[in-house]
């Protein structure tokens, strides 16, 4: 642990996080009857605190240590962000929750919102932890994509077309659930002067994208693993690719996590930017190396 943490003390919040995981992982899996509606949030709060503490050990700073207030705001922004995807899923019906029938609409809304609040802290915290490891701590080359008017307008209009196709033909166009939001929001962020990943890809530096992907896939493993023996739990109904399952998720379904991470980035910066928190470096510096270093 000393070598892993580069001789820095493991923060108290990390010990709290590990304690939460130790208690609520077995509760989530083995407690008789309904339990995940109460165990999900403390389990994932434990995960978020643990990865944040590990990042602090390795880097000397973390999302929490940079700004506890902004860290709490990640939870606040996260819940409505995931509700957006729940709304789109009303059309696609790609997943549903076993055990939902035991809760009133009000109970479900409150408990689900609390659970959804952990998505951004978990993904962004894990991505920041990934950045402390090679190769994610240096520029990583990829195709050059500049934020030219043609690229921005092409992406923006493509996003709306994908959203329309998703709503019109959900059985065949369900992958657009994980693409349309990013294609709509990324140009908006660029036009409004908020952090846009195109600032990095313009210099062929794809490091923040690869880091977000590594973070979300690591988080996805724990999401799907901890969900497998949960109750209530989610299950998938994905047309054409519902085979080769890893836990409840079909293998090819994990590909949807990649654009989902970019959508979370775009959603966070749009909301933060509209709230007056422009490019202040809170999330950008935590996950991305400077684009000029490519």
The 10s digit of each residue's pLDDT in 195-216 is: 999 999 999 999 999 999 999 9
User: Is 277's pLDDT higher than 80?
Assistant: no
The pLDDT of residue 280: 64
Give the residue, 4 or 229, on which the prediction is more confident.
229
Taking only the tens place, the pLDDT of each residue in 29-76 is 999 999 999 999 999 999 999 999 999 999 999 999 999 999 999 999
In the DSSP assignment, the letter for residue 140 is -
Mean pLDDT of 253-273: 96
Q: Name the helix (H) or strand (E) containing 34.
A: none
Cβ atoms within 10 Å, residue 237: 11
In this predicted structure, the answer to whether residue 27 has a pLDDT above a threshold of 80 is yes
C-alpha 210/C-alpha 215 separation (Å) is 9
Instruction: Reply yes or no on whether the pLDDT at 134 is more than 70.
Output: yes
pLDDT confidence band for 290 (50 / 70 / 90): confident
Question: Does 294 score more than 60 pLDDT?
Answer: no
Cβ-based neighbour number of residue 192 at 10 Å: 13
Q: Which residue has the tokens 């479900």?
A: 108
* Prior bond of 121 cis (ω within 30°): no
Least confident of 13-17, 117-121, 126-130, 284-288: 284-288
Alpha helices in 117-243, H assignment, sequence order:
119-131, 149-168, 170-173, 180-192, 198-201, 207-228
Provide the mean pLDDT of the chain. Answer: 94
The pLDDT value recorded for residue 293 is 62
Please state, for a pLDDT cut of 90, what percent of the chain lies above it. Answer: 90
Name the pLDDT band for 80 (thresholds 50, 70, 90).
very high
Quote the pLDDT of residue 3: 58
Residues 6+ apart with CB under 8 A from 190: 147, 152, 196, 198
Predicted confidence band of residue 241 (pLDDT cuts 50, 70, 90): confident
**d(C-alpha 115, C-alpha 17), whole Å:** 16
What span, in angstroms and rounded, lies between the C-alpha atoms of 230 and 13?
25
C-alpha–C-alpha distance, residues 259 and 287, integer Å: 16
82: which residues sit within 8 A by CB, 6+ positions away? 116, 119
Q: What residues pair up with 141 in beta bridges, in sequence order?
A: 205
- In angstroms, rounded to a whole number, what is the distance separating the alpha carbons of residues 223 and 43? 11
Mean pLDDT of 174-183: 97
- Please tell me the predicted confidence (pLDDT) of residue 275: 86
């Amino acid at each position: 642990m000393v070598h892993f943490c580069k001789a820095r003390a493991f923060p108290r919040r990390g010990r709290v996080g590990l304690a939460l995981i130790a208690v609520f992982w077995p509760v989530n899996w083995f407690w008789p009857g309904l339990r995940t509606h109460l165990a999900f949030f403390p389990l994932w709060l434990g995960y978020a605190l643990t990865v944040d503490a590990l990042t602090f050990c390795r880097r000397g700073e973390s999302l929490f240590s940079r700004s506890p207030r902004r860290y709490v705001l990640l939870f606040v922004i996260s819940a409505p962000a995931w509700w957006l995807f729940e709304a789109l899923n009303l059309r696609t019906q790609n997943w549903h929750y076993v055990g939902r029938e035991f809760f009133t609409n009000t109970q479900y809304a409150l408990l689900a919102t609390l659970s959804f609040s952990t998505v951004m802290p978990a993904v962004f915290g894990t991505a920041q932890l990934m950045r402390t490891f090679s190769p994610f701590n240096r520029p990583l080359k990829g195709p050059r994509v500049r934020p030219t008017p043609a690229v921005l307008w092409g992406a923006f209009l493509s996003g709306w077309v994908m959203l329309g196709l998703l709503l019109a033909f959900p059985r065949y166009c369900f992958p657009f659930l994980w693409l349309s939001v990013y294609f709509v929001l990324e140009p908006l962020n660029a036009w409004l002067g908020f952090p846009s990943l195109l600032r990095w890809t313009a210099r062929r530096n794809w490091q923040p994208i690869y880091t977000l992907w590594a973070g979300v896939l690591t988080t996805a493993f724990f999401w799907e693993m901890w969900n497998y023996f949960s109750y209530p739990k989610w299950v998938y109904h994905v047309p054409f690719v519902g085979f080769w399952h890893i836990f409840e998720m079909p293998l090819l379904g994990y590909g949807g996590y990649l654009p989902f991470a970019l959508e979370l980035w775009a959603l966070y910066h749009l909301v933060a930017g509209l709230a007056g928190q422009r490019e202040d470096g809170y999330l950008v510096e935590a996950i991305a190396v400077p684009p000029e270093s490519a």
